[in-house]
Amino acid sequence: MIALEPKPQAIYDTLAAALGGILLNAEQKKIAVTVDCPETVTAAHDRKWTTEALFNILDNAVKYTAEGGKIHVAVVCWEMYVKIDISDTGIGIPEQHQGTIFKRFYREDRVHDAPGIGIGLYLAREIITRQGGFIRVASEVGSSSTFSVFLPHS
């Protein structure tokens, strides 16, 4: 199914590819997308699959952020990981659901009208985990969510 070949490479290009998939939808909703990513940051990752994982998180950010909202992506180097924060001004995720949003086909009752089948975050977590990384989420209902993707430093 998913054959990953992680190797040290720039996060900038991978992130740019993922962002390319959401910019039109973000523009249509008048969502401001800002990015803070040094071009020199590298992490051990499979570009194709990591692009897919980041796209899934970004796509949800666009889907669940109201017109005129904001999405901010920030990349920071830590000692052992590269941290990619994807923050939005969307609907937020109740604390009791933050652990279950990564389950396959899981969708909250209040988002059943939105397009999707509930596999995006599951797939994102699988891709990142299989490369030695992990994903964390912090959210406040009604105002924001931040998904933090950690990839091993190369």
Each of the 154 residues of the chain gets a pLDDT tens digit; together they read: 678 999 999 999 999 999 999 999 999 999 999 999 999 999 999 999 999 999 999 999 999 899 999 999 999 999 999 999 999 999 888 888 777 767 765 555 555 455 554 567 889 999 999 999 999 999 998 889 999 999 998 7
Using the Cα atoms of residue 118, residue 84, residue 43 and residue 48 in order, give the sign of their dihedral. Answer: positive
pLDDT of the residue at 105: 53
Helix (H) or strand (E) holding 34: strand 32-36
Residue among 93, 88, 92, 99 at smallest CA distance from 58? 88
Q: What topology is assigned to 7-152 in CATH?
A: Heat Shock Protein 90 (3.30.565)
Cβ-based neighbours of 30, under 8 Å, separated by 6 or more: 67, 68
Q: What residues form DSSP beta bridges with 151? A: 82
**What is the per-residue pLDDT for 117?**
47
Ordered by start, the domain boundaries in the chain are 7-152
